Structure 1
């Protein structure tokens, strides 16, 4: 499996594009995404497999921290394209959901679990 990755502090990827096809992409997040990792996150979100996906499944159960710059980068990557990707956020902790909502994710995302 080829994966786009945004590095986590312990060397494990904070974001892995696990699969993409048929208009859907599954992005798995883990660890922490803070302002120091926004560049790596933007690079991972530039994965060519995401360009054709109109639905992004964001599996965030293992993401413990998401800073606003990273939340904005995620939303920007999903919405500055034509057509914008619909985001389905699954398993995000309260603080992660809060950062996404503060960045404006309610306009383009559904939240579950």
Structure 2
């Protein structure tokens, strides 16, 4: 799908993980994360890179929408581990942060502007 001048960028979600120093994982999310993306997100969150990391940094500056189902998936992934990961979320927009509050994710995450 081509974008035209003045139109918004594609809302197609992207989700990637990069491990830094073995114990710290950086998860980069972008676009619209909706219920139809839940399975892909859960698979990513259950992957070995995140399983081994004690700290998760989630870059969300390019997330334009976050459904409650996806917020709950992130909450479950962090809290249901034998040792919960330290979760820092960076760059989340105000309406995405509101979804954190609705899901309870804000109670386990450090939000960094």
TM-score category (smaller protein): 0.7 to 0.9
Unaligned runs of 5+ in 2: 1-9
Contact 1:20 1:53 in 2 (8 A): no
Q: Which runs of 4+ in 1 moved over 3 A?
A: none
Please name the residue that 1:31 is paired with.
31
- The structure richer in strand per residue is 1
Structure 1-normalised TM-score?
A: 0.84
Q: Which runs of 5+ in 1 are unaligned?
A: 1-7
Give the SS at the match of 1:83. Answer: coil
Give 1:23 shift. 1.6
Question: Is it true that 1:55 corresponds to 2:63 in the alignment?
Answer: no
Indicate the structure (1 or 2) with the bigger Cα radius of gyration. Answer: 2
**8 A Cα contact 2:34 2:66, kept in partner:** yes
Superposition CA RMSD, Å? 1.6
Cα deviation digits, residues 52-76 of structure 1 (max 9, x gap): 1111001000111000000000110
C-alpha distance in 2 between matches for 1:42 and 1:9: 19
Which whole-Å CA distance do the structure 1 matches of 2:46 and 2:21 have between them?
Answer: 15
